[in-house]
Amino acid sequence: MGKLVVVAIGGNALVKGNDYDTIQDQYEAVCEIAVNIADMVEAGCEVIVTHGNGPQVGYTLRRGEIAEKVAGMPSVPLVNCVADTQGGIGYQIQQALTNEFIRRGMKQKVATVITQVEVSSNDPNFKKPSKPVGSFFTLEQAQELEKEHPDWVFVEDSGRGYRRVVPSPQPIDIVEKDAIKSLIESGYVVIAVGGGGIPVVKRADQTYEGIDAVIDKDLATSLLADQIQAEILIITTGVPKVFIHFGKPNQKALDKITVSETKQYVLEEHFPKGSMLPKIEASLSFLEKSGSRVIITNPESLKAAINNAAGTHIVKSYREDV
């Protein structure tokens, strides 16, 4: 059996241009990433793919709101928007990967698992929305929209513009973890925990109920990687490596760092809250539980990254890293 690797794809990586990207544009972006994932599978890795939905879930929510306003149709609850994007993006990744394996003459099987992720209804994050979704706006546009919709909250998103935010509770349990594990053991490439998973809470009688939120996909991916005892967690995003002094003239790319060095960089505030920090927190959480290595890189570098030739590698300690 090969190394069990969980690979997360950022939702922003799937939208190339702007709000007017089509579904076909998104499929083309997915197809490019599928080539990189197929390379890893061909190199012998057992792979689970997770993905974000930040832009897409915001668009889906907005479509429902506009349909309600213009045509009086019932709006779609946020939790169902998450489920819709999980299914829609999962379908595209599943088809792109299946086709890539067919082209390569590989008999690899692919399946997407609709994944619920348990959160606590008492999570304090329900009271302070923090997860940016949907379009990017200028400050003036955001102020105008806030006037129009007093219940909407906007934040500045890592120098890229203003975005609406929704509650983002901490993931507690991946409900379908055993199904995901069984599929991997049966030889499937599995797509799971899309959009951070569909947020659900447990009722007193132990049954589940959906709740309106968007879970951070890096945190949910890290939890999944721990619960299925993966060896490596790879978080792909828009940059080939993590930097200190990011965006400044003295920025420096990091090749390999330990958990304790990473914690020091967190204290020195090298990683912004809405972008790189959740990835770093997810990485530390995985390494402090079961994981042995986290790689943060862009999708193009995946194959090189598993051969230690690309990306930023975070390890428990240099001594243990052989």
Ligand X SMILES: Nc1ncnc2c1ncn2[C@@H]1O[C@H](COP(=O)(O)OP(=O)(O)O)[C@@H](O)[C@H]1O
Count interface residues toward ligand X (CB under 6 A).
18
Among 33, 49, 54, 89, binds ligand CP (CB under 6 A): 54
Q: In which residue are the tokens 């668009």 written?
A: 59
Q: How far apart are CA 50 and CA 37, in angstroms?
A: 12
Decide if residue 171 touches ligand CP (CB under 6 A).
no
Among 52, 129, 167, 199, binds ligand CP (CB under 6 A): 52
Among 52, 64, 129, 169, binds ligand X (CB under 6 A): 52
The catalytic residue among 10, 54, 131, 181 is 131
* Strand-pair partners of 199: 117
Identify whether 241 is a catalytic site residue: no
* Stretch in the footprint of ligand CP (CB under 6 A) among 40-48, 49-57, 250-258, 280-288: 49-57
Q: In which residue are the tokens 């692919």 written?
A: 110
Among 75, 108, 120, 158, binds ligand X (CB under 6 A): 158
* Stretch in the footprint of ligand CP (CB under 6 A) among 88-96, 174-182, 213-221, 304-312: 213-221
CA angle 15, 95, 226 (to 5 degrees): 75
Identify whether 308 is a catalytic site residue: no
CA dihedral in degrees (212, 113, 238, 155; nearest 10)? 0
Radius of gyration of the chain from its Cα atoms, rounded to whole angstroms: 19
Decide if residue 174 touches ligand X (CB under 6 A).
no
Count interface residues toward ligand CP (CB under 6 A).
11
Mode of pairing for the β-strands spanning 293-297 and 312-315: antiparallel
Q: Which residues in 58-207 belong to E strands, given as ranges? A: 109-112, 116-118, 131-137, 154-156, 162-166, 173-174, 188-191, 198-202
Q: Is the CB of 183 or the CB of 305 nearer to ligand X? A: 305
Burial class (CB in 10 A: 0-12, 13-18, 19+), 117: buried
Q: Is residue 236 within 8 Å of 8, Cβ to Cβ?
A: yes
Residue 271 interface partner, choices ligand X, ligand CP, none, CB cut-off 5-8 Å depending on type? ligand X
Catalytic residues: 11-12, 131, 217, 279
Q: Which residues bind ligand X (CB under 6 A)?
A: 10-13, 52, 54, 158, 237-239, 242-243, 246, 270-272, 275-276
